[in-house]
């Protein structure tokens, strides 16, 4: 009987504990008095706190994923992974750029200021809509032509999001667009009727130093085997650099990394300094600035600058697949100049004032497209042999 009583008592205590546990699990904690008195009666429940904790944990996990490199940054031996390309900052969206160009062409120039836009002949303009633009007045018209054609070639190659929106304008002191700054124009020494470029001003840009494999001096090869262990942030930048180097080879632009390489002969530390005409936006996206040395001017100086631009091209063996695909199509159809002309005429109302590439320049553009296409094929063959 005594044992039975003890067993019954133990069973009763166990049932009581289970009942109390169930009641505590179902009950929500009462709000603290201070919380109930403040903030208009808004009370944080236990479930709300748990939800907030989960959100914070998810945010931390996302931040960690952004820092961690992708599992495989390169696919098919020579192409950046889709995951990695998706992390590249978007740059200047096509719709946004088109809207800016249209607005800039229709806006009046409210003021012109010296400084901030390169050469002393250039000006920083404040437009009537409140936006700002760099107005570039070339030493010769071919520099403005090179700027415009380089911008539209970037569009043909799928790289235009890396270049600030640009439009051409005709300097007419008595015209509607320039009438508010007629006095400033007299002091600028710009020729009446000259064509200038308007490039969207971008705030908070910072200098860019060339990363490995270019930052230490002579270029080394950027290939899939060289990327293991690199953080995601560095890989994202290299994706953009691979496009930049192809772009500068196609346009024969010597006023960027090639000029730094040229200076190595008397300045061994130049590659550790800021790269000319290349800046970084706050989101990490690279901005390909001031491309007036491209195509026209650059094509006249191939003998001088190809000894620098060609090794840079050969140093890249990982590419954006979209870039390679567009180059393959231009190579197959042999219509690089024709496609550039079509795009330029469709998007730039003042194109006739500067003209287009000469027949010889058009041939050079196609030859350089073909050369880059063959280089990509060689990289593919090398990757397949590993």
Residues contacting residue 212 through CB under 8 Å, at least 6 positions apart = 220
The candidate with the shortest Cα–Cα distance to 144, out of 71, 80, 199, is 199
Q: What whole-number percentage of the chain has pLDDT above 70? A: 81
Q: How far apart are CA 302 and CA 299, in angstroms?
A: 5
Distance set, CA 181 to CA 84, 110, 113 (Å):
47, 7, 10
- Locate all alpha helices (DSSP H) within 27-81, ordered by sequence: 33-37, 46-67
Domain ranges of the chain: 67-90+204-385, 94-200
- Predicted confidence at residue 17, as pLDDT, reads 52
pTM of this structure: 0.81
- Predicted confidence at residue 48, as pLDDT, reads 54
Q: In whole angstroms, what separates CA 313 from the centre of its chain?
A: 19
- Which of 190-194, 228-232, 249-253, 380-384 is least confident? 228-232
Q: In whole angstroms, what separates CA 224 from the centre of its chain?
A: 22
Whether 186 shows a pLDDT value over 90: the answer reads no
What is the torsional sign of CA 298, 302, 307, 311?
positive
Note the pLDDT tens digit of each residue in 156-167. Answer: 999 999 999 999
Q: How many residues are recorded in the chain? A: 386
Note the pLDDT tens digit of each residue in 128-138. Answer: 999 999 999 98
Long-range pairs, 265-272, Cβ under 8 A, ≥24? 268/217, 271/210, 271/214, 271/215, 271/216, 271/217, 272/209, 272/215
- Predicted confidence at residue 361, as pLDDT, reads 98
Note the pLDDT tens digit of each residue in 290-334. Answer: 999 999 999 999 999 999 999 999 999 999 999 999 999 999 999
- The 8-class DSSP code of residue 316 comes to B
- Which of 53-57, 125-129, 148-152, 361-365 is least confident? 53-57
For residue 357, name the pLDDT band (cuts at 50, 70, 90): very high
For residue 9, name the pLDDT band (cuts at 50, 70, 90): very low
């Amino acid at each position: 009987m005594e044992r039975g009583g003890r067993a019954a008592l133990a069973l009763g205590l166990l049932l009581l504990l289970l009942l109390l546990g169930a009641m505590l699990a179902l009950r929500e904690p009462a709000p603290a008095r201070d919380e109930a008195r403040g903030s208009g009666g808004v009370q944080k429940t236990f479930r709300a706190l748990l939800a907030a904790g989960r959100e914070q944990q998810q945010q931390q996990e996302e931040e960690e994923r952004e820092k961690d490199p992708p599992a495989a940054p390169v696919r098919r031996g020579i192409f950046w992974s889709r995951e990695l390309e998706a992390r590249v900052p978007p740059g200047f969206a096509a719709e946004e750029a088109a809207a800016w160009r249209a607005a800039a062409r229709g806006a009046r120039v409210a003021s012109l200021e010296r400084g901030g836009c390169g050469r002393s002949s250039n000006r920083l303009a404040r437009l009537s809509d409140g936006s700002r633009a760099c107005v570039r007045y070339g030493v010769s018209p071919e520099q403005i032509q090179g700027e415009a054609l380089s911008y539209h070639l970037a569009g043909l190659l799928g790289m235009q999001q890396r270049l600030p929106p640009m439009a051409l304008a005709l300097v007419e002191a008595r015209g509607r667009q320039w009438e508010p700054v007629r006095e400033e124009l007299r002091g600028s020494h710009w020729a009446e009727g000259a064509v200038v470029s308007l490039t969207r001003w971008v705030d908070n840009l910072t200098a860019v130093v060339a990363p490995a494999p270019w930052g230490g001096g002579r270029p080394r090869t950027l290939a899939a085997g060289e990327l293991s262990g690199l953080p995601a942030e560095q890989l994202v930048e290299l994706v953009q650099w691979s496009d930049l180097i192809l772009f500068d080879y196609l346009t024969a632009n010597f006023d960027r990394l090639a000029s730094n390489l040229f200076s190595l002969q008397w300045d061994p530390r130049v590659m550790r300094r800021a790269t000319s005409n290349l800046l970084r936006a706050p989101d990490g996206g690279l901005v390909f600035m001031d491309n007036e040395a491209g195509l026209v001017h650059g094509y006249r100086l191939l003998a001088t600058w190809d000894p620098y631009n060609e090794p840079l091209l050969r140093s890249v063996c990982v590419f954006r697949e979209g870039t390679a695909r567009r180059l393959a199509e231009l190579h197959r159809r042999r219509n690089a100049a024709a496609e550039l002309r079509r795009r330029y005429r469709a998007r730039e109302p003042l194109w006739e004032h500067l003209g287009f590439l000469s027949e010889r320049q058009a041939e050079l553009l196609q030859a350089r497209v073909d050369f880059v296409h063959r280089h990509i094929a060689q990289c593919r063959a090398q990757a397949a042999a590993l």
